[in-house]
Amino acid sequence: MISRRHFLAAGLAASALAACRPARAAPAFDARVRADGRGSHATLAAAIADAPGDGRVPYRILVGRGVWREKLVIDKPNLHLVGEDRHGSVIDFDAAAGMARPDGQAWGTWGCASVIVRAPDFRADSLCIRNSFDYVGNLAAPRFEPIGPNGAQAVALMLDQGADRSHLRDVTLTGHQDTLFTEAGRALFERCVVTGSVDFIFGAGRTRFEHCELQSRFRPGKPRQGYVAVPSTPASQPQGLVFDQCRLTREAAVPDASVALGRAWRPGRSFADGKYGDPAALGSAVFLSCWMDAHIDGALGWEPMAYTARDGQRVMLEPRDARLYEFDSRGPGAVRSPSRRWLRAEQAATYSRAAMFAGWSP
């Protein structure tokens, strides 16, 4: 007969053994989209539609290898897209601002993005988001107005109103004009690649890039090849676009001194007395310890940008009237000149991750 003491000892040993066993791992993904048919959903849109709306826990979607031609709106919180292959898992669409939506109206800059985020705590890892509109072909045979909101702007990713605490790692964003529209909330990009030509990183959000590559693409026949950072930061917001230890590179055909670091954007908005450039927008873009190739315009650095004033006149927002700075720039494009304003070390510290993201620890 087993004594009570032996019974208790055996029970304790069994409990201890059970405690040593690893807990059953939660499924790595809540949904899988795969080209080989072994996924849980046939499309990314279907997987997103099945995500819960409360966002209490992350909803992780595996993006399998392949080109997923979908135009996505992410309006549920805490949704994570994880690629199977950074270069092989591609979300792609080809809408330009001047193209017609299904209802016949133009997409516009605010609607043309391949992926639009309108909810907090979005994450993306190890994939590519692309707008494959034929920008160069449109230069040769224009289909749209050359400027304005209904032209050749073709956004890959937009962080729209409702987005906040967006976090992207090891993601490639590919486009030409207006590739990344970071309009709202706080966002962190780590080890990402952003390619484009005209105004290819722009918007009003509080957005930080760490160890990213910003690649300027070639525009045939254009003396000014493009602009990297074009912020429309509210004047009340202390930081806008911050690039920390990034590399500014180029396609081989992009000439020396042909790309500006950026320009400040004062977007038109509707007010009671008309539509004109928002006087509350005072763009902020800062490059911290970035390496710059020789395509960056050493003498000029930044350029002005036109907007419509309250009286209807077209006026220029000059770089000196915005918040456009550098600190510790390096490389052949890092030329010191009177038009390229540098921060002091103590000023640069106000653009740290902690200063930008108080209350959020990505």
pTM of the predicted structure, to 2 decimals: 0.91
Between CA 248 and CA 225 the distance in angstroms is 14
Residues of the chain with pLDDT > 90: what percent? 87
Residue type, 236: S
Between CA 72 and CA 79 the distance in angstroms is 13
Phi, psi of 214 (to 5 degrees): -115, 105
Indicate if the alpha-carbon torsion angle 246, 296, 160, 152 is positive or negative.
negative
The percent helix, strand, coil of the chain (3-state, each to 5) is: 10, 35, 50
Cα 139–Cα 144–Cα 147 angle in degrees, nearest 5: 80
Residue type, 272: A
Buried b (16+ CB within 10 A) or exposed e, 289-314: ebbbbbbbbbebbbbebebeeeeeee
Does residue 6 surpass a pLDDT of 80? no
- pLDDT for 144: 75
- pLDDT for 143: 84
Q: What is the pLDDT of residues 136-195, one digit of tens each?
A: 999 999 887 665 666 999 999 999 999 999 999 999 999 999 999 999 999 999 999 999
Does residue 104 surpass a pLDDT of 50? yes
Q: Tell me the β-bridge partners of 120.
A: 164
Structure tokens at 358: 């108080």
The catalytic position among 199, 244, 278, 293 is: 199
Helix (H, G, I), strand (E, B) or coil at 136: helix
User: Looking at residue 342, what DSSP letter applies?
Assistant: B
Distances (CA, A) of 168 to 58, 183, 205: 15, 15, 15
Residue 305 in contact with residue 261, Cβ under 8 Å?
no
* 297 classed as catalytic: no
Region 31-41: mean pLDDT is 95
Q: What is the pLDDT of residues 331-358, one digit of tens each?
A: 999 999 999 999 999 999 999 999 999 9
* 199 classed as catalytic: yes
Does residue 10 surpass a pLDDT of 50? no
Q: Whole-number mean pLDDT of the chain? A: 92
Neighbours of 114 (CB within 10 A): 28
Residue 321 in contact with residue 284, Cβ under 8 Å?
no
Residue 96 in contact with residue 112, Cβ under 8 Å?
yes
Residue 326 in contact with residue 336, Cβ under 8 Å?
no
Does residue 27 surpass a pLDDT of 90? no
Element (H, E) at 143: none
Torsion of CA 30, 36, 37, 41, to 10 degrees: 40
Report residue 18's pLDDT band, with 50, 70 and 90 as the boundaries.
very low
Q: What is the pLDDT of residues 44-86, one digit of tens each?
A: 999 999 999 999 999 999 999 999 999 999 999 999 999 999 9
The catalytic position among 178, 244, 293, 297 is: 178
Element (H, E) at 209: strand 206-210
Residue 315 in contact with residue 306, Cβ under 8 Å?
yes
What is the Cα gyration radius of the chain?
24
Which domains occur in the chain, in start order? 197-362 (2.160.20.10)
- pLDDT for 115: 98
Region 278-287: mean pLDDT is 97
